[in-house]
Structure 1
């Protein structure tokens, strides 16, 4: 029967993919990354690597995978965009009623990873979180495109909605609400989170999977750098 033949072919195709997965690998032949090449601070080092990711033309170089956990310890991860970087930490913006914000409100802790695959690099920042103050939120909000601002008002982030039409209708209602308003205000349920790092790890892919991992660790006296086995 045609239907069974088609199913058999799909199953066979899936099996081929499964068989190929163990053999999928990339050879990392990056240059040595050692303590002598590190910047004085994690902020400077992260900015250097971020600049290099931008120069290399990587898509979304400021994208980072955010990991959180809820009150029961169940983990979640998703990609967000880094919109702030200084000695205080890294910043991203979101809806304060979202699942990620609920997690952060409960645990007050998070981790993000910048996955620069093409450069065979990644950086992981982990630490306590705090909300960004209203002045900084307003400054960033003003830099967003109007469409993004209206979308932030319209979306009940992380909640179940009754189809795409519900979102489109909500956006239309918000567009009417702010029609003729030059400056869309910041929603009361929207703002930023800052991760204040306890550790910042820089990972450089190396040959034979003996990667270089250098980690800045916050101490009572400042910061130290540890080399971590790959």
Structure 2
């Protein structure tokens, strides 16, 4: 969320962070957003009778603030098909793995257990199925033999902060289209495009890590 807010402050960024909405009234992100002069709101899911009532309360606030796009960041609740249907093609999420691998939780732990050599993160459009949906951007990071969950998570998080603002910028500029489960540039043929919209791999590894 902080990376999105900071990136959107650039003069030519095509989107404005108009509202930070949380289901936790004590969320640290609300305080940060207020300090930056951004409107905030909390819809506590615990006081609602069910998921649909909770989401309808969110929908009222989103409409009130005339929101066009939703970026999920640390939002750990599954959204209903009804809510996603209201925002089809307009909800972005970031996941700490190279989807479709490692959907769900504990992605770094599972990647280390499987002995993979490449891990990363994915920005995608949200669909009713968990951690699925057309991929907008991905970033890959190397997995070192000395990695722990914490060190791997830190390396992935650094890339999340890079690709999420870039993905939002691409979507906000309106230069993308969705065909099936693929995200393509609006004016290019499918044959001319790779299976990902963007792939960022960090620069050369330090000698002590690449040896």
TM-score, with normalisation over the residues of structure 2? 0.27
Greater relative contact order: 1 or 2 (C-alpha under 8 angstroms, separation 6 or more)? 1
TM-score, with normalisation over the residues of structure 1? 0.26
| Larger proportion of strand | 1
